[in-house]
Structure 1
Amino acid sequence: MVGKSTLISNYLSTIQSNTSTWLSQMEQSRDSPRRKKEWGFGQLISLATFQNANQGYIVQDTCSLGAEILIVKPAEKQEKVTFISNPPNNVFTWKILRFSTLEDKFYYSDDFLVGDRYWRLGFNPKGDGDGRPHALPIYLYAQGFRPNAVVTNTWGAVNLRLKNQRSSNHRQLYSAAWYPIRSDYGVGVNNIILMKDLKDTSKGYLVNDAIVFEAEMVKVSVTNIVPV
C-alpha cells in the first residue's frame, strides 16, 4: 500500500514484439493520497500506430504492457524562511576621511552582521556606470554567512543614506532585493548625490573632507531547517 504522503513516479511501456523495443512514458512525481486508485496517461501511443501491424505492437492479436512504480521517500525536512523587520543592530555607519585624496577605484567598508548574513557598503568616489563622473554611487553588498546559518539566497531591504553632517536633510534611497549565495553581489544606486552638490560645502554633505554613509537594514530574511 502506498502511504498518504508517498511520492510516486509511473513508467508505462508497451513493447514492439518484432524489435524488442519499448515505448515508454513517465508521469511526474506527485503525492499519492490513499483515496487515489488510478494513475496513468490519456495517450501512451496513438491508436493508429498501435493497430498498425507493421509497427509490431500487436502480434497474433496480443500486446504486452509493462508498468514500473518508483516509490520516493518523502522529504523529512524543509526550509522555513522568516522575514524580520527592523532586526537587531540594523544600522551601520561608515565615515570616509580625506575624500579629496581617494583614487578612481571602489572602496569597501568593514563587514557588519544583520540577520544570518554579513554585509558591507561600497562606492567609487569618481562615479560609476551612467552616473560617472557627475554623481556619487553607493551599493550594499551581501557577504558570507554567520556560523551554522543556512546558506541560501537572502532578502535584504535597506535605506542607503548619505548623511548630512549639519542637518537632517540626508540623501536616502530605499533598495530591496534577493541576494544570491555568492559574496559581493551589490545593489544600490549610482547617483545618491550629484558631485557638484556634494562638493558644495555649504550643503553639509562634505565636511572637513569627510563624508558619512549609513545603511539601515529594515528587513532581512532568515532561513531555518524544520521538520515537514
Structure 2
Amino acid sequence: YLIVKDGIVKRYNDAKKEWGYGKLIPLTTFLDTNEGYLEQDIASFGAEIFSGTAVQVQEKVTFISNPPNNVFTWKILHFSNLEDKFYYSDDFLVEDRYWRLGFNPKGTGDGRSQAIPIFLYAQGHKPNAVATNTWGAVNLRLKNQRSSNHAQIYSAAWYPTRSDYGVGVNTIISLAEFNDASKGYSVNDSIIFEAEMVKVSVTNIVPI
C-alpha cells in the first residue's frame, strides 16, 4: 500500500467540494507491475475519513480606506536639546488598534548623522477587538511650517500583534535640507511630524 497522511483539517462546502493531490505517485511507478499497484490492469484506491467538529465562526478581515480620525500630529519642542536615543509620541487610536510614531534625532541605519528618520509602530488593540496582525498604510510627513512643501513618504505593511515592530524610513529628509532655515522644517527649534493612516485592516469574528 501507498499511504498518504494529510493531517490538516479540510472544509467542504458549496464553494469547495473536493480536496486531493495533483501528483500522488509518479506514473512510471504506478504502471510498473513489479511495484504492485496494478494487478490485471486493476488498481484500488481507498480513503479513511475522520470527521471533526464543525467550525461555527471565522475571521473576517475588512480593509478600511481613510478611516475616521486618521491624522495624528506630533509637535516636538527644543529639538536641538534632544539626545541620541529613540523618542516616541503618545499613542493614537485608528479603528481597532493604537499606533505611535518614533524617531532618533541623530539618525538611524544608513541615514545615521545624515538624515532624519521616522517610523510608525503598531501598539495594543482596543478592548474587545480581535487581537491579530493588522495592515497599516500611512503617509508619514515632516511638515514644512512655512508652506505646503512637506517631506513625505508612503509606507504599507502587515504589523504583527507585538508592539515593538516599526516600519518607516531612515531618511525622510537629509540633515543638510533640514538645517537650512529657509526651508521651514525647523521653526523656533520645533518640528512637526504627521501620520495620515490611509488604510487599515479590521478583523471581526463572524458566523459561517
TM-score by length of 2: 0.82
Give the 4+ runs in structure 1 shifted more than 3 A: 27-34, 39-43, 65-68
Question: Superposition pairs for residues 51-90 of structure 1, below 5 Å?
Answer: 68-90=48-70
Report the CA distance between 1:201 and its aligned residue: 1.4
Task: Give the aligned residue type for 1:151.
Answer: A
Unaligned runs of 5+ in 1: 1-13, 15-22, 52-64
Higher-Rg structure is 1
Q: Deviations over 1:64-96 (max 9, x none)?
A: x99643111231111111111111111100011
Unaligned runs of 5+ in 2: 38-44
Question: Superposition pairs for residues 5-154 of structure 1, below 5 Å?
Answer: 24-27=3-6, 29-31=9-11, 48-50=34-36, 68-154=48-134
Aligned CA distance change for structure 1 residues 127 and 32 (closer, same or farther; 3 Å): closer
Cα separation, 2, equivalents of 1:101 and 1:139: 21
Q: Percent identity?
A: 69
Q: Deviations over 1:134-175 (max 9, x none)?
A: 100000001110001001110101010001111111111111
- How many pairs are equivalent? 192
Cα separation, 1, equivalents of 2:171 and 2:207: 46
Task: Select the structure that is richer in strand.
Answer: 1
Cα separation, 1, equivalents of 2:13 and 2:103: 55
CA RMSD between the two structures:
2.7
Cα separation, 2, equivalents of 1:26 and 1:108: 50
Cα separation, 2, equivalents of 1:216 and 1:207: 22
Taking CA–CA contacts closer than 8 Å with sequence separation of 6 or more, which of the two structures ends up with the larger relative contact order?
2
Cα separation, 2, equivalents of 1:129 and 1:42: 49
Report the CA distance between 1:32 and its aligned residue: 5.0
Cα separation, 2, equivalents of 1:42 and 1:92: 55
Task: Give the aligned residue type for 1:93.
Answer: T
TM-score by length of 1: 0.75
User: What SS does the corresponding residue of 1:81 show, helix, strand or coil?
Assistant: strand
